[in-house]
């Protein structure tokens, strides 16, 4: 969950500069309501798996500054610790491809979905 919140918060702040000026969330590892609203494409008041997956796919492209289809450690230094980067780099080639990235963030989504209903609230 911590990785999910960190990655999501960082990406939302990069994509929507005004959100970076919002107060800190009440609970560590949680997102601001405005950030949840940004992800909630269908305005259902929840973020479903497909909304999150679509957002994170776009986020991968945004994080890939050199546009080589992989995330290098330097491209993720603000959102992932060395340990998190290593864990996400499933094939241990020193970079995170989109499949590895999506597997990690979607696993984090599943962990955050406490009631297993496919939605985050």
Q: And the tokens for 26?
A: 């009440």
Residue-level pLDDT at 10: 58
Kindly report, residue by residue over 26-61, the tens digit of the pLDDT: 443 456 677 778 888 899 998 899 999 999 999 999
Residue-level pLDDT at 25: 40
- Between 113 and 121, whose confidence is greater? 113
Q: Which of 49, 50, 43, 38 is nearest to 13 (CA)?
A: 38
Segment (H or E) for 70: strand 70-71
Residue-level pLDDT at 39: 84
Q: And the tokens for 54?
A: 């679509």
Instruction: Give the Cα-Cα-Cα angle 41, 54, 120 (nearest 5 degrees).
Output: 60
Residue-level pLDDT at 67: 97
* Percent residues over pLDDT 90 in the chain: 52
pTM above threshold 0.85: no
Kindly report, residue by residue over 54-85, the tens digit of the pLDDT: 999 999 999 999 999 999 999 999 888 999 99
């Amino acid at each position: 969950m911590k990785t999910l919140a960190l990655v999501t918060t960082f990406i939302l702040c990069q994509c929507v500069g005004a959100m970076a000026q919002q107060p800190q969330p009440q609970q560590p590892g949680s997102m601001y309501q405005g950030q949840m609203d940004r992800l909630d494409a269908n305005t259902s008041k929840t973020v479903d798996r497909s909304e999150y997956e679509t957002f994170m796919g776009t986020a991968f492209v945004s994080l890939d500054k050199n546009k080589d289809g992989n995330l290098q450690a330097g491209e993720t230094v603000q959102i992932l610790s060395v340990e998190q980067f290593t864990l996400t780099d499933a094939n241990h080639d020193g970079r995170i491809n989109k499949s590895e990235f999506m597997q990690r963030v979607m696993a984090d989504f599943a962990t955050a979905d406490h009631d297993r209903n496919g939605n985050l609230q």
